[in-house]
Chain A
């Protein structure tokens, strides 16, 4: 028998300061394009960048992090942050501010969005300390977290899962695919994201969004007040 608990205690802590601070270690996020010259829009394969006058505006839901607008002659300005989720849906009632149960549903992701979610319990992020739990049953779930563009075969399981959840409930679409179809949809095989099927309360763009971007969105759904990029030093 190994004394794994002891081994765990001896391990050096490596936990992020989030949500106390928005400071990030290098490599925690790919960052995102925020603004740039009008010519930068030409390189974007998905229409996430649109020239408006002399500048380029970003529709982040469509960005697939191909990095084309990061390199090359007319690059965009990129910001290395994570607080970029958005949504019109109201947060859950106050009773949920300290703990939620999340049901994760794969609606055809490429594996990278799920891999980032798999990092959330890792010691660097430790999602449980924030009162967030991945639940094994839709009957206990407060939040439905969906990745992938919604393939034909996953439409019905998605609707069934949502229907099986008690209210109040919220839907979070994670990743470019879930937000807009990403590189895959809409097509004959995929929808153009979760909003084609269900009311979406919060969207976390990115391909894939880094673990902290997802964490930030979940805290927003819990109604916890958070530092936003605009407040960062």
Chain B
């Protein structure tokens, strides 16, 4: 299936073929719920990539949207179905496994039932702290501590054999780590089952955003994952701009790409530093964190904030960066990137380091495709997609990145992809800095009723956001579909079959945020 017309024909949506198609357009395809599994089946075998599922409560009934992005030159497709009160939704995860966690999440938070879905319940809302019948994303949700009696939590041992035991790790750790739990089954050396228990950090961001003005909701999105604040807030700002038909000045578009690449460089440097730390090499760890600190200080100096908070605004950016400062920043960031590359070169010649990474934590291309993995983790396993290239936004149509990739899908392949991408960001920064159009960085963006989709290629992969605003220009629904949510889904597969001492290294090589996943 190469053309949009063929794809729409296979979806039995011939009537929807638009006269002109382009990247960046979103083509909505309303379907009867019964046809959804077939459509998912068709799309699963095409080049379409599921971004997530958006559930919206409209009075009593529910609307579900399934946005998919297509490769460059083609638009987004959005399957839309309606579910009557009390109705069930046909599950698509048997055909398109990337939908699995999205369906579980919607079941937990909205109380919708997905028919034919294998594992439901106790996902976002842990049974030991949340009552059974709490559905926080419903409009009528009112929660008090007195509601219902939570049930006690007992980790489940998967492996039943003589000498087998279950080792729970987390949610509190010895070092400086995010709260989450891993249940590791073993007979001694090798991890046979790994269950990733997340959502310890569930902060209810999507719910809290409802009723907020757009600018305040952006503060929340920045803090979904503070270390990748800019990329996610940009996706949300673009969703709001699309919903309200706001235009963004050219200078802001270029600067948005500029800040996003600086953030990617720093975020990747931090991932590489984490990987050094996981192998207990003290000197490379120190050197890598030194680079991270240098990049944080560059952000602090030029944006007033080490993590670029407060920079994004609907309609552009909250403040400008003058041309000379942009060029200076780009040159300094490039110098830091060079020092990082020097360190990497030394590391890649250290056999004791390479031995810990090579052929460990393997995710193969089939798994990557089946789980719809995104970002460096997907690209290191040969599942290559990058929204900067496929569906360009900000200044990426003119300034297209070279997309790094590898085939092996092991810890080493991921390290190489992170390194290549950091180098590519450092190459883009001066290009963007010397191409800054003149003019303002902030257009007027009058918020009004509407809905829209926004997306970015965040450091960890595709980040998609759906925003609906009400007649007062306040947030009626904000759906955040970050890359961590897609990639944590498959993390256990990289940990299983490998030894205990490989676990922290594999974990570090994924570079995933739990805050971003839990939201």
Contacts and interface: CB of A to CB of B under 8 A. Distances in A.
Interface of A: 1-2, 4-5, 7-8, 11, 14, 25-31, 45, 64-68, 70-71, 103-119, 121-125, 134-138, 148-149, 151-157, 161, 182-185, 187-190, 207-208, 210
A62 to B, nearest CB: 13
Contact of A110 (B143, B226, B281, B284): B226
B204 A188 contact: yes
Given A7-B283, A27-B301, A118-B176, 7 more contacts: A4-B283, A28-B297, A106-B179, A134-B174, A135-B174, A148-B201, A153-B129
Contact of B136 (A113, A119, A188): A188
Interface stretch (B82-90, B212-220, B446-454, B496-504): B212-220
25 contacts: A2-B352, A7-B283, A26-B297, A26-B301, A27-B302, A29-B300, A30-B304, A67-B304, A67-B311, A106-B171, A106-B201, A112-B227, A119-B289, A123-B286, A123-B290, A138-B172, A151-B200, A152-B130, A154-B171, A154-B200, A157-B200, A187-B203, A187-B204, A187-B208, A189-B208
Contacts of A64: 219, 223, 309
Contacts of A154: 171, 179, 200-201
Interface string B280-322: 0111101101101100111111101111011100000011000
A117 B286 contact: no
Nearest to A64: B219
A65 B226 CA distance: 12
Contacts of B282: 4, 8
A107 B178 CA distance: 8
Given A26-B301, A105-B172, A108-B179, A122 B349 contact: no
B175 A184 contact: no
Contact of B515 (A11, A30, A109, A116): A109
Contacts of A119: 289, 292-293, 296
A151 B202 contact: yes
Contacts of A138: 172
Contacts of B179: 105-108, 148, 153-154, 157
Contact of B309 (A66, A148, A153): A66
B176 A117 contact: yes
Interface residues of B, number: 73
B177 interface: yes
B292 to A, nearest CB: 7
A108 B199 CA distance: 9
B231 interface: no
Given A65-B310, A112-B227, A122-B293, A157 B172 contact: yes
Contacts of B290: 14, 122-124
A183 B219 contact: yes
A111 B225 contact: yes
Nearest to B222: A110
B126 interface: yes
Given A66-B219, A187-B208, A4 B200 contact: no
A5 B283 contact: yes
Interface string B318-347: 110000000000000000000000000010
A27 B202 contact: no
Closest 6 CB pairs of A and B: A112-B226, A136-B174, A27-B297, A27-B300, A67-B310, A189-B204
Contacts of A152: 129-130, 202
B33 interface: no
A156 B130 CA distance: 13
Nearest to B297: A27
B305 A182 contact: no
A111 B175 CA distance: 14
A2 to B, nearest CB: 4
B440 to A, nearest CB: 14
A37 B223 CA distance: 28
B448 to A, nearest CB: 21
B428 interface: no
B224 interface: yes
Given A66-B309, A122-B293, A155 B286 contact: no
A1, A103, A185, A187: which has the most chain B beta carbons within 10 Å? A187
Nearest to A12: B290
Nearest to A118: B176
A25 B201 contact: no
A65 B319 contact: no
Nearest to A189: B204
B516 interface: yes
B305 A30 contact: yes
Contacts of B281: 4
B504 to A, nearest CB: 13
Contacts of B174: 134-137
B229 interface: yes
A153 B514 CA distance: 14
Contacts of A149: 203
B176 A134 contact: yes
Contacts of A136: 174-175
A14, A118, A184: which has the most chain B beta carbons within 10 Å? A118
Contacts of B93: none
Contacts of A151: 200-203
Interface string B173-187: 111111100000000
B143, B179, B290, B307: which has the most chain A beta carbons within 10 Å? B179
Given A4-B282, A68-B310, A210-B306, A189 B515 contact: no
B176 A122 contact: no
B140 interface: no
B215 A25 contact: no
A154 B228 CA distance: 23
B216 to A, nearest CB: 5
